């Protein structure tokens, strides 16, 4: 997103409704991290584990977003930059773990993948609906929306992978989905970092009065 004066007018998250939505989404993601990681270990599914890590990352992201609400633009942008870099690191970690998984390939339990994938999708769609009207805010607010959207897309991919694993009796669809989820992390990370840097430049502009 380009850096311009209109950026300063974007919603900064400083409202009771947004805070309540964030608290609800934090609770949803923290719960689903525990559920999905346990299921990933049980099913030996890298796609489920990758998606569980996304829930963990989102829990931290939303908590940080909540913490900087109401702070000056420079602080919100710095928080968004940190979240973007963390999301990118998580994406690279998933790619590295997936590469290792190829060497010790095994076939995950498709039934568990599908069942937990559907549960995770329901949780993330709830988060998406809670945050829908805040999707065009500043980098801090927008990063929350992007993470929720990515989760829903990732869950759909896990469900598709579970069907493919069941049909092929192979672990390759699971690995492919893990790579796709990692790629989604990296794409969103780039977008968040770019917007955050633009807002940091805007906040540092000498002709702008830093928002309180």
pLDDT tens series, the chain, 212 aa? 333 334 445 677 678 888 888 899 999 989 988 988 888 787 777 667 777 777 887 788 788 888 888 888 888 888 888 878 887 887 787 667 666 655 555 556 666 667 777 888 888 888 888 888 887 777 778 878 777 887 787 778 777 777 877 777 776 776 777 787 788 778 878 888 887 888 888 888 766 544 44
| pLDDT value of residue 212 | 42
Q: Is 13 left (phi over 0), alpha (psi -120 to 50) or beta?
A: left
| pLDDT value of residue 113 | 66
Q: Is residue 173 situated within a structural domain?
A: yes
The CATH number of residue 66's host domain is 1.20.1510
Q: pTM (2 decimals)?
A: 0.65
Q: Which two tokens stand for residue 145?
A: 């929306």
What's the angle, vertex CA 83, arms to CA 130 and CA 198, rounded to 5? 95
| pLDDT value of residue 47 | 64
Q: Is residue 129 situated within a structural domain?
A: yes
Look up residue 207 and give its DSSP letter.
Answer: T
Measured CA to CA, the distance from residue 152 to residue 8 in angstroms comes to: 29
Q: Is residue 66 situated within a structural domain?
A: yes
Residues comprising the chain, all counted: 212
Q: What is the CA radius of gyration of the chain?
A: 18
Measured CA to CA, the distance from residue 16 to residue 82 in angstroms comes to: 24
Q: Which two tokens stand for residue 44?
A: 């030996």
Q: Is residue 187 situated within a structural domain?
A: yes
Q: Tell me how many domains the chain contains.
A: 1
Domain membership of residue 192 as a residue range? 5-203
Q: Is residue 131 situated within a structural domain?
A: yes
| pLDDT value of residue 24 | 93
Q: Which two tokens stand for residue 94?
A: 């998933």
Q: Is residue 130 situated within a structural domain?
A: yes
Four-point Cα dihedral 67, 91, 41, 34, nearest 10: 10
Q: Is residue 211 situated within a structural domain?
A: no
> DSSP characters for 72-122?
-HHHHHHHHHHHHHHHHHHHHHHHHHHHHHHHT-----HHHHHHHHHHHHH
8 A C-beta contact, residue 107 and residue 163: no
């Amino acid at each position: 997103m380009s850096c311009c004066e209109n950026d300063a007018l974007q919603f900064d998250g400083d409202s009771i409704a947004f805070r309540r939505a964030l608290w609800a989404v934090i609770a949803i993601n923290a719960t689903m991290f525990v559920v999905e990681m346990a299921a990933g270990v049980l099913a030996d599914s890298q796609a489920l584990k990758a998606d569980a890590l996304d829930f963990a990352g989102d829990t931290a992201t939303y908590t940080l977003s909540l913490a900087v609400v109401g702070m000056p633009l420079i602080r919100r942008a710095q928080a968004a930059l940190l979240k973007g870099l963390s999301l990118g690191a998580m994406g690279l970690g998933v790619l590295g773990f997936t590469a290792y998984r190829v060497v010790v390939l095994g076939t995950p339990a498709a039934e568990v993948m599908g069942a937990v994938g559907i549960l995770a999708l329901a949780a993330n769609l709830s988060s998406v609906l809670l945050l829908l009207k805040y999707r065009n805010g500043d980098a801090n607010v927008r990063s929350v929306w992007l993470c929720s959207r990515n989760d829903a897309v990732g869950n759909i991919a896990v469900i598709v992978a579970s069907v493919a694993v069941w049909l092929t009796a192979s672990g390759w669809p699971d690995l492919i989905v893990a790579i796709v989820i990692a790629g989604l992390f990296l794409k969103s990370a780039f977008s968040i970092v770019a917007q955050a840097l633009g807002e940091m430049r805007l906040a540092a502009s000498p002709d702008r009065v830093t928002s309180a």
